[in-house]
Amino acid sequence: MEVVIVPDATAGGELIAEAIATLVRRKPHALLGVATGSTPLPIYQALAAKVRAGEVDASRTRICQLDEYVGLPAGHPESYRSVVLREVVEPLGLDEGAFLGPDGTAEDVPAACEAYDRALGEAGGVDLQLLGIGTDGHIGFNEPCSSLASRTRIKTLTRQTREDNARFFDSLDEVPHHVITQGIGTILEARHLVLLATGEGKADAVARAVEGPVAALVPASALQLHPHATVVVDEAAAGKLKLADYFRATYAAKPEWQGL
């Protein structure tokens, strides 16, 4: 696992956007796994700016979702399909044909989970999966004590996660209780995992995920098992890392050819 400490969210977004651009230049039809929420917005904004400036041609890039609410009606503005279309697909100039996602409106949710897990494999697998981290250490919607071998499935959200997400709705009561999420085992099959965390509120979760033991209690700690995992944090989110100085020195001495 590589840990990169950046000055702020903007710098983190630019760094990761350039890594994605480098991937797309090398592999134009790359499958990019995206996360939602406020944390990854600087990535998408920086990447869209590169597309507009002609620095990268993303016209053949494919996009896939990490997770989706269960039960929100099709087209609901806070369904993650709507969010990804609005914040990623449209700004990159792509159409919905480039988009893969689970069906949160399906009558048979377990079958929809299996279908999406299968579709990711049939698409050739995820080349780069973007991740955030919850204050309780979750990735995707794999809440604490999720199996480290789990596949795409339905999960029940903790009250903490629902409270964290309530800012996107008019009230806590409107936040769904259930979601479809890629499982940890599914996430670990991506060729490159990139987690971005910003803000003091994420510092404890980052420290436990990066420097603590691999444990289902901290789902993000599973990134320690991946051969190519990158954790990008701003100074505030790095505040509880015991090895912060080592991570800074390691990144400063990194050969340019190695990339992110």
What residues act catalytically?
A: 67, 136, 138, 143
CB 160 within 8 A of CB 140: no
| Nearest in space to 258 (alpha carbons), one of 48, 4, 8 | 4
CA 197 to each of CA 67, 118, 161, 201, 220: distance values in angstroms, whole numbers, following the listed order: 18, 29, 16, 9, 12
Diameter over CA atoms, the chain? 53
CB 57 within 8 A of CB 27: no
Neighbouring C-beta atoms of residue 82, cutoff 10 Å? 15
